[in-house]
Chains A and B, each alone.
Chain A
Amino acid sequence: AQSVTQLGSHVSVSEGALVLLRCNYSSSVPPYLFWYVQYPNQGLQLLLKYTTGATLVKGINGFEAEFKKSETSFHLTKPSAHMSDAAEYFCAVSELSNTGKLIFGQGTTLQVKP
């Protein structure tokens, strides 16, 4: 069975600092991997996705993630945090590659300090 683990339920960074949100997955088939973000009082918004091809994927708002098969990881990074990045972030894997049925991690709340 597929699963997703996000390390750290809360991460706090200073404005301008590097953002690193960790995600590890388990899957018996080539995975489709996603990062979603939920801003307060809003729905989940897709940040970026990996399906096939280039392992470094760029998303919206300056975020990027790298698929590392050997480490079964898909960590999310942003070089310089902005106050508006404060939100909850979810890593997800698509079961059986392309069914739309997502397995989510527990979520990581990012706090950005001025």
Chain B
Amino acid sequence: EAGVTQFPSHSVIEKGQTVTLRCDPISGHDNLYWYRRVMGKEIKFLLHFVKESKQDESGMPNNRFLAERTGGTYSTLKVQPAELEDSGVYFCASSQGRTVLFFGSGTQLSVL
């Protein structure tokens, strides 16, 4: 069974540009999460989907970040326009219940 898949694995963009990250959860997992690790800091929660609905988006930094989950399947996280402080590793996770999360390998985003 395929795990959580994230695309791209690395992205390098300039300040002001737009970047879209994609996450494909494990098939059948209704819960999908986005987390971020800024260099040198702890991994922090961004938001939680249950199917296509946003259950909790309390961790989203500001309105430059937009997350969607079309049809309750894959999810995208768009950053527009990107700023230097957005650099970091963005992790996606999915779960069937809410106890054990399965994480993807992350997308390393570098904003120059």
Q: Which of B48, B95, B97, B103 contacts A44 (CB 8 A)?
A: B103
Q: Residues of B contacting A32 with CB < 8 Å?
A: 99
**B104 within 8 A of partner (CB):** yes
Interface residue tally of chain B, by bracket? Answer: 20 to 34
Contact assessment for B98 and A100 in the assembled complex, using a CB-CB cutoff below 8 Å: yes
**B74 within 8 A of partner (CB):** no
**A41 within 8 A of partner (CB):** yes
Contact assessment for A98 and B99 in the assembled complex, using a CB-CB cutoff below 8 Å: yes
Most buried by B among A51, A98, A100, A103: A100
Contact assessment for A104 and B99 in the assembled complex, using a CB-CB cutoff below 8 Å: no
Task: Please name the residue on chain B nearest to A6 by beta carbon.
Answer: B42
B interface residues (Cβ-Cβ under 8 A, vs A) = 3-4, 31, 33, 35, 41-45, 48, 56, 91, 93, 95, 97-106
A interface residues (Cβ-Cβ under 8 A, vs B) = 4, 32, 36, 41-46, 49, 51, 90, 94, 98-107
18 residue pairs bridging A and B, Cβ less than 8 Å apart? A4-B42, A32-B99, A36-B103, A43-B4, A43-B91, A43-B103, A46-B102, A49-B100, A94-B99, A98-B98, A99-B48, A100-B98, A100-B101, A101-B48, A102-B43, A104-B43, A105-B42, A106-B42
